[in-house]
Copies of this chain bind each other. A is one copy, B any other.
């Protein structure tokens, strides 16, 4: 900081000399001195002025945002635990080569670390690839785990819509060789439970299968080499009308108009068991091995979802494609349906809040012997959920507490700091959540005001008379009622009165 001040002073000197039209040699000398100082300050920094901000696309979470965030996490974690998941954690960065070749075009969005000698590292882009690396590295062929952590994408941030460069993912995955569609159905059940629990409004979970998509492309006459790129065109159908997607397929990607039109007929279909049955009878699709397999499994999936009682929110949707390369079977995505804007002034633009699918080949990419571990999983898009919960809370009257403090230890007169310290220490040791003002002689009014501002329900007041009588005056902030409690009963009394906290 001292050096920066020196640079500023030198810059001022230069400015003044120029203004005064001083001897050009002198100016040149001072300018070169200035440049040298700047260079010393940090050649690769570029900027002179210190900017007080977080990096682009990131944000701090203050106590209020954290309280909201923890509410959402709690709902999600308790769902994952209800389904018997273990939890793991992996480092925030991986060897660069671990991430290479997993994300297709999106690889350009990966954050790399500077080469400071040693290994080349990148920040994780999702939690799925580190999970697959973890399974291969530890030769685990069977696990049900969740992982909640931040991931990093050098994307164009759209922060009002909940899109950041640093954001949390909440992933639940089931790895192992099991009978078909049982774990897949559980993943959908989990999405249903979480979205219902968080009360985000009406939603639908779209389901499809990569095998059905690939079979469809084949029977429509898409050449094998174009499967992935046509798939990524189909993926845009939630944001673009069919006509635009079609012209991308034909114009940019060189697909024949006839093949595009045949795709167009399929991708506009969505429904339930009836649609699956119809497609199983479809003269073209039913001839394709992949499509038939996919449709057979889709039928089984719907039977299980019927037993779970959640088919009302599930839509078999042939336009669902999902961006990532590594999916091999079932894919799904949950979207919130536009709500009536009763409470929300500026409606959050709704969209995908959860997604996932089956990726049976990813672990094999890491295993030295190519040993495969079938996996299926779901990722909850928590940032969008935060944005919605935040906006809803702002629009509501609800005042959110950012601490859990049960009681403020206060004094009615001066010179009672020591007594407050003694009492609060007793309360802490008994497990009571207690605070006090860090002042020698705070005014009682200020102490009570602090409770009203922060939502602390009780005040334990020590005064000279109370000390003599062996009691503490307990004030209930909401009702302003005051009662004397014997010192030895205080802990119990506080517990009873705050038992709902």
Asked if A45 contacts B120 (CB within 8 A), the reply is yes
Asked if B91 contacts A44 (CB within 8 A), the reply is no
Asked if B425 contacts A189 (CB within 8 A), the reply is yes
Minimal beta-carbon separation of A487 from chain B (angstroms): 16
Kindly identify, within residues 1 to 40 of chain A, every residue whose CB is under 8 Å from any CB belonging to chain B: 1, 3
Asked if A55 contacts B91 (CB within 8 A), the reply is yes
Asked if B434 contacts A94 (CB within 8 A), the reply is no
Asked if A82 is at the interface of the complex by the 8 Å CB criterion, the answer is yes
Q: How far is the CA of A92 from the CA of B149 in the complex (A)?
A: 11
Asked if A100 is at the interface of the complex by the 8 Å CB criterion, the answer is yes
Asked if A431 is at the interface of the complex by the 8 Å CB criterion, the answer is yes
Kindly identify, within residues 91 to 143 of chain A, every residue whose CB is under 8 Å from any CB belonging to chain B: 91-97, 100-101, 111-116, 118-121, 123, 133-134, 136-138, 143
Asked if A278 is at the interface of the complex by the 8 Å CB criterion, the answer is no
Asked if A422 is at the interface of the complex by the 8 Å CB criterion, the answer is yes
By beta carbon, the residue of chain B nearest A111 is B113
Asked if A289 is at the interface of the complex by the 8 Å CB criterion, the answer is no
- Choice from B45, B307, B434, B439 contacting A425 with Cβ under 8 Å: B307
Q: Which residues on A are within 8 Å of B, measured CB to CB?
A: 1, 3, 42, 44-47, 50-56, 58-63, 66, 69-70, 81-97, 100-101, 111-116, 118-121, 123, 133-134, 136-138, 143, 145, 150, 152, 154, 166, 174, 176, 178-179, 182-183, 185, 189, 193, 304, 307-309, 365-366, 368, 402-405, 417-418, 421-422, 425, 428-429, 431-435, 438-440
Q: Which residues of B contact A309 (CB under 8 A)?
A: 425
Q: How far is the CA of A54 from the CA of B134 in the complex (A)?
A: 9
Q: How far is the CA of A166 from the CA of B417 in the complex (A)?
A: 42
Minimal beta-carbon separation of A347 from chain B (angstroms): 27
Most buried by B among A3, A50, A54, A115: A54
Q: How far is the CA of A433 from the CA of B79 in the complex (A)?
A: 9
Minimal beta-carbon separation of A28 from chain B (angstroms): 29
Q: How far is the CA of A56 from the CA of B433 in the complex (A)?
A: 41
Q: Which residues of B contact A435 (CB under 8 A)?
A: 83-84
Q: How far is the CA of A114 from the CA of B113 in the complex (A)?
A: 5
- Could you list 17 further interchain pairs (A-B, Cβ under 8 angstroms) beyond the known A52-B133, A53-B137? A54-B91, A54-B94, A55-B91, A55-B93, A60-B91, A61-B88, A63-B143, A66-B89, A69-B89, A81-B433, A86-B402, A92-B150, A93-B166, A111-B113, A176-B438, A189-B425, A307-B425
Asked if A403 contacts B62 (CB within 8 A), the reply is no
Minimal beta-carbon separation of A369 from chain B (angstroms): 11
By beta carbon, the residue of chain B nearest A440 is B179
26 interchain pairs (CB within 8 A)? A42-B100, A44-B120, A45-B100, A51-B95, A54-B95, A55-B93, A55-B95, A55-B121, A56-B118, A60-B90, A61-B89, A63-B87, A66-B86, A69-B89, A83-B428, A84-B433, A92-B150, A92-B166, A111-B113, A114-B115, A118-B154, A178-B438, A179-B439, A189-B428, A304-B421, A308-B425
